[in-house]
Amino acid sequence: MLTVDEALSKLFALCPAVDAETVPLRRAAGRVLLADAVARLTQPPFAASAMDGYAIREADNVKGTRLAVIGEAAAGRGFAGSVGAGQAVRIFTGAPVPEGAERVVLQEDVTREGDTITLGDRLETGANIRPAGQDFRAGDRLAAPRRLSPADLGLAAAMNVAEVSVARRPAVALIATGDELVMPGEPPGPDRIVASNSFALAAMAEAEGAEVRLLPIARDTEESLRYTLSLAADADMIVTIGGASVGDHDIVGKVAGDLGLERAFWRIAMRPGKPLMAGRLGRSVMLGLPGNPVSSIVCGHLFMLPMIRAMQGLPARAASRQRARLGQPVAANGPREHYMRARLRPGIGLTEIVPFERQDSALLSILTEADALLVRPIGDGPRTAGDEVEYIAI
């Protein structure tokens, strides 16, 4: 059986090349930037006042000095003249600093009578002027690749960038398999259960930037599965749920093989989720997830989401791991890497992590209470409370 890292390496090798498209800035939120956004101007384009006050010469910045107010500068409406000795210009935040002025004294630090101000006893040491180009200059770059955050969009807009080159959203087709499944809202009837995994996986994939198609449930016949797979032929990624094990009714591997699947691997040394299959089917990457609800969702975090990120041009790497201290002892781990559902809580220094007592891969109710997967390496010995461990936030 492959390790999780070995499986990920094979999965990344299957991912198709990233396709780019140009979109308006308003439609770029959450998209992955593929080409640097280049500033078309300097920000601020001029020395600007950081405060409301009066623009004066440095030589006049003396307590008790009286200065003549010769004009006013506001944002979007500068003062056309220059400031000479013994003069001041009333100025507001964001306004261009007039020629000749070298500092802005705060309005609360002066006394004004008519067109004359007197500097008070408390004068700040700072000049209260934002120099031209303090934020960025023409030609500066917002570097790719990156998922565009609200702050990134604000910066790109300030750079006067109206459109950006982003990764096309990968198309992910989700196929739940099994005679026992019905859709939510339908009466299950005897021997049936409600299909739940695909709804969780769809939400996860969409949050990562994919366009998801939830296809009809494939029944446990070759004809039904073959038909449903045909509906996914144009997808970048086909994710099947269930039917990838070795039981008499687990036919995903056989049908996909008959259709030309180039299988990359089948089983992984992990729990939950050992019966996981992957390969290439036509133009699509195929990922066969286990049918147990927790197994499929955990595998979604470990494999599907990193693949979706890589397919958008982000670094091909595993889910990010963080460190915490165990809040209680745990027994030794066996020959498979174990991802234990756990809860995080504040600790002294490092966060504390406490695994749930029940770890059955059918317990969605436990997974909804979990905010982390405690990672137990293969053959990891017993751990005591206070030991440092790794976890993946979910």
Q: What is the mean pLDDT of the chain?
A: 94
Residue 328: strand, helix, or coil:
coil
Whole-number Å distance between alpha carbons of 223 and 268? 28
Whole-number Å distance between alpha carbons of 361 and 277? 18
At 246-267, the pLDDT tens digits run 554 568 888 999 999 998 888 8
Helix (H) or strand (E) holding 364: helix 364-369
**pLDDT tens-place values along the chain, 394 residues long:** 889 999 999 999 999 889 999 999 999 999 999 999 999 999 999 999 999 999 999 999 999 999 999 999 999 999 999 999 999 999 999 999 999 999 999 999 999 999 999 999 988 889 999 999 999 999 999 999 999 999 999 999 999 999 999 999 999 999 999 999 999 998 888 889 999 999 999 999 999 999 999 999 999 899 999 999 999 999 999 999 987 665 545 688 889 999 999 988 888 999 998 778 899 999 999 999 998 889 999 999 999 999 999 999 999 999 999 999 999 999 999 999 999 999 999 988 899 999 999 999 889 999 999 999 999 999 999 999 999 999 999 9
Q: Tell me whether strands 352-355 and 322-326 are parallel, antiparallel or unpaired.
A: parallel
pLDDT value for 244: 66
Q: Are 309 and 172 in contact (CB under 8 A)?
A: no
| The two structure tokens encoding residue 168 | 């096309």
Please give the C-alpha separations between residue 247 and each of 184, 220, 244, 336, 360, in angstroms, as whole numbers: 26, 11, 9, 21, 20
Whole-number Å distance between alpha carbons of 334 and 338? 8
Q: Which residues of 1-23 are buried (b: 16+ CB within 10 A; e: fewer)?
A: ebebeebbeebbebbeebeeeee
Please give the C-alpha separations between residue 200 and each of 20, 270, 295, 355, 364, in angstroms, as whole numbers: 28, 21, 12, 22, 10
Q: Chain centroid to CA 88: how far? A: 49
At 296-341, the pLDDT tens digits run 999 999 999 999 999 999 999 999 999 999 999 999 999 999 999 9
Question: In 3D, which of 61, 107, 109, 49 has the Cα closest to residue 85?
Answer: 61
pLDDT value for 210: 97
At 155-171, the pLDDT tens digits run 999 999 999 999 999 99
Q: Chain centroid to CA 265: how far? A: 28
For 53, counting Cβ atoms within 10 Å of its Cβ (0-12 exposed, 13-18 middle, 19+ buried), the class is: buried
- Can you say whether residue 330 is alpha, beta or left, with left for phi > 0 and alpha for psi between -120 and 50 degrees? beta
Length of the chain in terms of residues written: 394
Residues 6+ apart with CB under 8 A from 131: 47
For 189, counting Cβ atoms within 10 Å of its Cβ (0-12 exposed, 13-18 middle, 19+ buried), the class is: exposed
